[in-house]
Amino acid sequence: MELAHSLLLNEEAYNQLGEVQKAEFIFEWLSYLEKLLLATSRNDVKEKQKTLVEQLLSLLNSSPGPPTRKLLAKNLAILYSIGDTFSVYETIDKCNDLIRSKDDSPSYLPTKL
């Protein structure tokens, strides 16, 4: 799982995994990312921020479980506190849209933001 140890999600390695391994890979990457963002220089974070925000938001759309959602939220908060805040409102809008798009039927009940 050392392929999960980078600032950006290794999508090539991620796409080769099975469904269960994908969840583990994402969790490990997010855990590592939390530590890495705090240790990475501001300029490096700003350079890759747009791609990183896109990757994190795409993970939100995949309806992850509570531990993964918590890590996603922490990483977005760290990312915006270290990097530029230029797209924070766009991110909030996407989260609001995601909440609005979910219905309360039994099939969506286990899915939360």
- Does 34 fall in a domain? yes
What average pLDDT score do residues 68-94 get?
A: 90
- Does 106 fall in a domain? no
Q: Encode pLDDT of 26-48 as tens digits.
A: 999 999 999 999 999 999 999 99
- Does 110 fall in a domain? no
Higher pLDDT, 3 or 31: 31
Residue 26 is predicted with a pLDDT of 93
What average pLDDT score do residues 62-79 get?
A: 90
Q: What are phi and psi of 92, to 5 degrees?
A: -65, -40
pLDDT bracket for residue 103 (50, 70, 90): low
Answer whether residue 111 shows pLDDT above 60.
Answer: no
- Does 1 fall in a domain? no
- Does 64 fall in a domain? yes
Q: What is the extent of the structural domain holding 72? A: 11-101
* Per-residue tokens: 19: 């469904």
- Does 107 fall in a domain? no
- Does 113 fall in a domain? no
- Does 111 fall in a domain? no
CB-based contacts of 105, cutoff 8 Å, min separation 6? none
Say how many domains are in the chain.
1
Query: How far apart are alpha carbons 56 and 75 in whole angstroms?
Result: 8
* Per-residue tokens: 49: 């921020």
Closest CA to 99 of 69, 67, 77, 54: 69
* Per-residue tokens: 91: 């991110």
pTM for the complete prediction?
A: 0.81
